[in-house]
Copies of this chain bind each other. A is one copy, B any other.
Amino acid sequence: MAKTKIGPQPIIYPMPTFLVGANVDGKPNFMAVAWSGMANGSPPVITVALYYKRHTYRGIRENMTFSVNMPSTDMVKETDYCGITSGAKVDKVKVCKFDVFYGKLKSVPLIEQCPVNMECKVMHILDVGDHALVVGRIEEMHVSDECLTNGKPDINKIKPFAYITTPHLYYQAMGEVIAKSHSIGKELKARE
Protein backbone atom coordinates (compact mmCIF):
# COMPACT_ATOMS: atom_id res chain seq x y z
CA MET A 1 0.00 0.00 0.00
CA ALA A 2 1.88 3.08 -1.24
CA LYS A 3 1.71 6.16 0.99
CA THR A 4 2.09 9.87 0.32
CA LYS A 5 3.46 12.34 2.86
CA ILE A 6 1.10 15.30 3.01
CA GLY A 7 2.87 17.19 5.79
CA PRO A 8 1.36 18.03 9.18
CA GLN A 9 -2.31 18.99 8.85
CA PRO A 10 -5.16 19.38 11.35
CA ILE A 11 -7.29 16.59 9.88
CA ILE A 12 -9.00 13.85 11.85
CA TYR A 13 -12.19 11.88 11.23
CA PRO A 14 -14.76 12.13 12.55
CA MET A 15 -14.72 15.47 14.37
CA PRO A 16 -17.86 16.39 16.33
CA THR A 17 -19.86 19.57 15.66
CA PHE A 18 -20.68 21.51 18.80
CA LEU A 19 -22.03 24.90 19.73
CA VAL A 20 -19.76 26.28 22.45
CA GLY A 21 -21.36 29.01 24.50
CA ALA A 22 -20.39 31.73 26.94
CA ASN A 23 -21.79 34.97 28.22
CA VAL A 24 -19.89 37.89 26.72
CA ASP A 25 -20.48 41.16 28.55
CA GLY A 26 -23.45 39.42 30.15
CA LYS A 27 -25.03 38.37 26.84
CA PRO A 28 -25.13 34.74 25.62
CA ASN A 29 -23.13 33.89 22.51
CA PHE A 30 -22.40 30.62 20.73
CA MET A 31 -19.83 29.50 18.17
CA ALA A 32 -19.44 26.32 16.14
CA VAL A 33 -16.51 24.18 17.29
CA ALA A 34 -15.23 20.92 15.78
CA TRP A 35 -11.90 20.85 17.54
CA SER A 36 -12.98 19.15 20.72
CA GLY A 37 -12.33 15.86 22.48
CA MET A 38 -12.78 14.00 25.73
CA ALA A 39 -9.84 14.40 28.07
CA ASN A 40 -10.76 12.48 31.19
CA GLY A 41 -13.32 10.13 32.66
CA SER A 42 -13.34 10.72 36.39
CA PRO A 43 -14.00 13.59 36.65
CA PRO A 44 -15.29 14.07 33.09
CA VAL A 45 -13.14 16.65 31.31
CA ILE A 46 -13.49 18.01 27.77
CA THR A 47 -11.23 20.11 25.53
CA VAL A 48 -12.31 22.79 23.07
CA ALA A 49 -9.83 24.66 20.89
CA LEU A 50 -10.74 28.25 20.04
CA TYR A 51 -9.02 30.83 17.88
CA TYR A 52 -7.88 33.57 20.28
CA LYS A 53 -9.83 36.36 18.60
CA ARG A 54 -13.21 34.66 18.91
CA HIS A 55 -15.91 36.63 20.68
CA THR A 56 -16.94 33.52 22.61
CA TYR A 57 -13.37 33.08 23.85
CA ARG A 58 -13.55 36.54 25.41
CA GLY A 59 -16.62 35.39 27.35
CA ILE A 60 -14.86 32.21 28.48
CA ARG A 61 -11.95 34.26 29.84
CA GLU A 62 -14.41 36.64 31.48
CA ASN A 63 -16.30 33.92 33.38
CA MET A 64 -13.92 30.93 33.26
CA THR A 65 -16.95 28.84 32.36
CA PHE A 66 -18.47 27.66 29.07
CA SER A 67 -21.10 25.34 27.63
CA VAL A 68 -20.88 22.57 25.05
CA ASN A 69 -24.18 22.09 23.23
CA MET A 70 -24.66 19.19 20.81
CA PRO A 71 -26.96 20.04 17.93
CA SER A 72 -29.07 17.54 15.98
CA THR A 73 -28.94 17.18 12.22
CA ASP A 74 -32.09 19.33 12.05
CA MET A 75 -30.05 22.22 13.49
CA VAL A 76 -27.32 22.17 10.86
CA LYS A 77 -28.36 25.56 9.41
CA GLU A 78 -28.19 27.31 12.78
CA THR A 79 -24.92 25.56 13.63
CA ASP A 80 -23.29 26.65 10.40
CA TYR A 81 -24.57 30.19 10.90
CA CYS A 82 -22.89 30.27 14.33
CA GLY A 83 -19.67 29.21 12.63
CA ILE A 84 -19.61 31.88 9.94
CA THR A 85 -20.73 34.92 11.93
CA SER A 86 -19.35 36.76 14.96
CA GLY A 87 -21.27 37.63 18.09
CA ALA A 88 -19.40 40.94 18.04
CA LYS A 89 -21.55 41.90 15.06
CA VAL A 90 -24.82 39.96 15.26
CA ASP A 91 -27.07 38.55 17.97
CA LYS A 92 -26.84 34.86 17.08
CA VAL A 93 -29.38 33.84 19.74
CA LYS A 94 -31.98 36.10 18.16
CA VAL A 95 -31.21 35.14 14.55
CA CYS A 96 -31.18 31.40 15.36
CA LYS A 97 -34.19 31.69 17.69
CA PHE A 98 -32.36 29.78 20.41
CA ASP A 99 -34.15 29.41 23.73
CA VAL A 100 -31.38 29.94 26.26
CA PHE A 101 -31.52 28.49 29.76
CA TYR A 102 -29.14 28.33 32.71
CA GLY A 103 -28.45 25.39 34.99
CA LYS A 104 -26.03 24.85 37.88
CA LEU A 105 -23.46 27.43 36.78
CA LYS A 106 -25.17 30.77 36.45
CA SER A 107 -22.72 32.12 33.84
CA VAL A 108 -23.17 29.25 31.36
CA PRO A 109 -25.80 29.75 28.65
CA LEU A 110 -27.36 26.53 27.31
CA ILE A 111 -29.43 26.02 24.16
CA GLU A 112 -32.74 24.31 24.83
CA GLN A 113 -33.10 23.11 21.21
CA CYS A 114 -29.82 21.13 21.46
CA PRO A 115 -30.55 17.63 22.80
CA VAL A 116 -27.41 17.54 24.96
CA ASN A 117 -25.93 20.40 26.99
CA MET A 118 -22.82 20.41 29.15
CA GLU A 119 -21.91 23.01 31.75
CA CYS A 120 -18.14 23.34 32.11
CA LYS A 121 -15.64 25.09 34.37
CA VAL A 122 -12.24 26.01 32.95
CA MET A 123 -9.40 23.97 34.52
CA HIS A 124 -6.58 25.02 32.18
CA ILE A 125 -6.01 27.15 29.12
CA LEU A 126 -3.02 26.00 27.10
CA ASP A 127 -1.27 28.15 24.53
CA VAL A 128 -0.62 25.69 21.70
CA GLY A 129 -0.29 28.09 18.73
CA ASP A 130 -2.99 30.19 17.08
CA HIS A 131 -5.68 28.53 19.20
CA ALA A 132 -6.26 28.35 22.93
CA LEU A 133 -6.81 24.81 24.15
CA VAL A 134 -9.47 25.20 26.81
CA VAL A 135 -9.65 22.24 29.18
CA GLY A 136 -12.88 22.17 31.16
CA ARG A 137 -14.41 20.00 33.82
CA ILE A 138 -17.99 18.99 33.02
CA GLU A 139 -20.07 20.03 36.01
CA GLU A 140 -23.53 19.04 34.80
CA MET A 141 -25.22 17.57 31.73
CA HIS A 142 -28.75 18.09 30.50
CA VAL A 143 -30.39 15.77 27.99
CA SER A 144 -33.74 16.28 26.28
CA ASP A 145 -36.14 13.66 27.61
CA GLU A 146 -37.05 12.36 24.15
CA CYS A 147 -33.36 11.56 23.53
CA LEU A 148 -33.00 9.23 26.51
CA THR A 149 -33.32 5.44 26.41
CA ASN A 150 -33.51 3.84 29.85
CA GLY A 151 -32.11 7.05 31.29
CA LYS A 152 -29.08 7.10 28.98
CA PRO A 153 -28.42 9.51 26.11
CA ASP A 154 -29.23 7.67 22.87
CA ILE A 155 -27.20 8.65 19.82
CA ASN A 156 -29.94 7.40 17.50
CA LYS A 157 -32.34 9.93 18.99
CA ILE A 158 -29.80 12.73 19.44
CA LYS A 159 -28.73 12.56 15.77
CA PRO A 160 -25.37 14.36 16.11
CA PHE A 161 -23.24 15.15 13.08
CA ALA A 162 -19.59 15.45 12.16
CA TYR A 163 -17.66 18.29 10.59
CA ILE A 164 -15.60 17.16 7.62
CA THR A 165 -12.88 19.28 6.00
CA THR A 166 -11.49 17.07 3.25
CA PRO A 167 -11.98 16.60 0.38
CA HIS A 168 -14.68 19.28 0.88
CA LEU A 169 -16.20 21.27 3.74
CA TYR A 170 -19.41 19.62 4.86
CA TYR A 171 -21.44 18.12 7.67
CA GLN A 172 -22.06 14.42 7.76
CA ALA A 173 -24.57 12.36 9.73
CA MET A 174 -23.76 9.11 11.49
CA GLY A 175 -24.22 5.86 9.58
CA GLU A 176 -24.67 2.20 10.29
CA VAL A 177 -23.46 0.31 13.32
CA ILE A 178 -20.56 -1.87 12.16
CA ALA A 179 -19.69 -3.86 15.29
CA LYS A 180 -20.05 -4.16 19.05
CA SER A 181 -17.03 -2.82 20.89
CA HIS A 182 -15.29 -4.79 23.64
CA SER A 183 -16.63 -7.77 21.73
CA ILE A 184 -15.70 -8.25 18.06
CA GLY A 185 -11.97 -8.07 18.88
CA LYS A 186 -12.25 -11.22 20.97
CA GLU A 187 -12.35 -13.20 17.73
CA LEU A 188 -8.62 -12.49 17.36
CA LYS A 189 -7.75 -13.95 20.75
CA ALA A 190 -7.43 -17.36 19.13
CA ARG A 191 -4.34 -16.04 17.34
CA GLU A 192 -2.50 -15.16 20.56
Residue positions of A touching B, CB distance < 8 A: 1-16, 18, 34-47, 49, 68, 70, 73, 76-85, 90, 95-96, 103, 112-113, 116-118, 123-124, 126, 128-131, 133, 135, 137-146, 148-156, 158, 160-164, 166-189, 191-192
Contact between chains at A81 and B185 (CB < 8 Å): yes
Q: State how many copies of this chain the complex holds.
A: 2
Q: Which residues of B contact A118 (CB under 8 A)?
A: 8
Whole-angstrom CA separation of A103 from B148 in the bound complex = 45
User: B residues within 8 A CB of A112?
Assistant: 1, 3
The residue that A8 contacts in the complex, of B43, B80, B178, with Cβ under 8 A, is B43
Please determine whether A77 and B185 come into contact, CB atoms closer than 8 angstroms: yes
Are B80 and A181 within 8 A (Cβ)? yes
Q: Which of B12, B139, B161, B191 contacts A38 (CB 8 A)?
A: B12
Which B residue sits closest to A180, measured CB to CB? B170
